[in-house]
Amino acid sequence: DIPAVRTVLADAFPIGAAIGPQQLVGNHAELLKRHFNSITPGNALKWDATQPTEGQFRFADADALVEFAVANGMAVRGHTLVWHQQTPAWVFTDPAGNPMTATPENKALLLSRLEAHIRAVVGRYGTKIGVWDVANEVIDENQADGLRRSRWFEITGLDYLRTAFRVAREVAPTATLYLNDYNTNVPAKRDKLYALVAQLRAEGVPVDGVGHQMHVNIDWPSVSETEAMLQKFVPLGVEQQITEMDVSIYRNDAESFPTPPADRLLTQAYRYRDLFALYRRYAGEITSVTLWGLADDDTWLDSFPVTRKDAPLLFDLELQAKPAYWGIVDPS
């Protein structure tokens, strides 16, 4: 048997995969249990999944994922409580049935919906979920203030973040609470995220960690830029996690291969090797690394940013270990 990734990384950090209920059975479940000791529900904890209609909660998928993790001694990352995507329209609809405008009444209503949502979702899982991505993708580095103009922001300003973190802390006092974002290696975005986390923590808002999604490709970003990303947050005294890593085999949106070329898979293996070597050097800061998928047969990159077959993970369509796996397991 080839080595288990979780065993190889045992001296550094837990290793996770984003999954759905479809990965809880058969060969996928076996692969998951063998190599990983953490999971993230890829969609099952998002607002559109858990509260599609006001007051009507659906927890079947999330329950199945969390119970699987508990039964197999795996950690769970809760993803995500507040986001500008996969949030039902009712959340931002006013009592007259119209899209909310920025009034004090609508702000109070939206914050009360947010609080009720977090109490229900976080409260259901208690200590079974140790980490929450309380808010996802709130930075827009093209804004002078760095804050994404989401419906949340337009209606509440920064109060949606203050409420979300405060309520999550109250309901799950031992959970670690994260702000999670993509492209955090890009200096302008990284610095805006840093400023927001510093401001919130100075106010006493309980932001414990910064999540770096790390949706990268075979030649971007460089290891040194990635190191600067990690280094930036060290003085803040926050935890850091790699939350959604995958390494696209494509260099731009125009490329498309029916099957992954061998040279791309080799380059990808070196990228996994080099980035994991960096993560190991920062193991005192990084408390978990999660890949956004289990194997190449199920990856969101097949439909983002364009539709084409990608191969961004450690295991192939037949669930066999790729060169990328060996880049982590046997970095020599």
Q: Which of 100, 137 has the CB closer to ligand XIL?
A: 137
Query: Is position 318 annotated as part of the catalytic site?
Result: no
Per-residue 3-state assignment (H helix, E strand, C coil) for 47-95: HHHHCCECCECCCHHHHHHHHHHHHCCCEEEEEEEECCCCCCHHHHECC
The catalytically annotated residue of 141, 244, 255, 285 is 244
Q: Which of 136, 288 has the CB closer to ligand XIL?
A: 136
The catalytically annotated residue of 54, 67, 115, 137 is 137
Tell me how far, at minimum, the Cβ of 40 lies from ligand XIL, in Å: 9
Tell me how far, at minimum, the Cβ of 315 lies from ligand XIL, in Å: 17
Tell me phi and psi for residue 88, to 5 degrees: -65, 150
Q: Which residue has the tokens 């993560």?
A: 279
Q: Which of 106, 178 has the CB closer to ligand XIL?
A: 178
d(CA 292, CA 284): 22
Cβ(161)–Cβ(206) under 8 Å? no
Tell me how far, at minimum, the Cβ of 43 lies from ligand XIL, in Å: 5
Tell me how far, at minimum, the Cβ of 109 lies from ligand XIL, in Å: 26
Token pair, residue 249, equals: 């085999």
Per-residue 3-state assignment (H helix, E strand, C coil) for 141-180: CCCCCCECCCHHHHHHCCHHHHHHHHHHHHHCCCCEEEEE
d(CA 75, CA 172): 15
Cβ neighbours of residue 95 closer than 8 Å, sequence gap 6 or more: 109
Tell me how far, at minimum, the Cβ of 36 lies from ligand XIL, in Å: 16
Q: Which of 244, 296 has the CB closer to ligand XIL?
A: 244
Q: Which of 294, 329 has the CB closer to ligand XIL?
A: 294
Query: Is position 285 annotated as part of the catalytic site?
Result: no
CB burial string 48-59: b at 16+ within 10 A, e below? ebbbeeeeeeeb
Cβ(324)–Cβ(272) under 8 Å? yes
Residues in contact with ligand XIL by the rule CB under 6 A: 42-43, 136, 213, 244, 300
**Which residues are known catalytic residues?**
137, 244
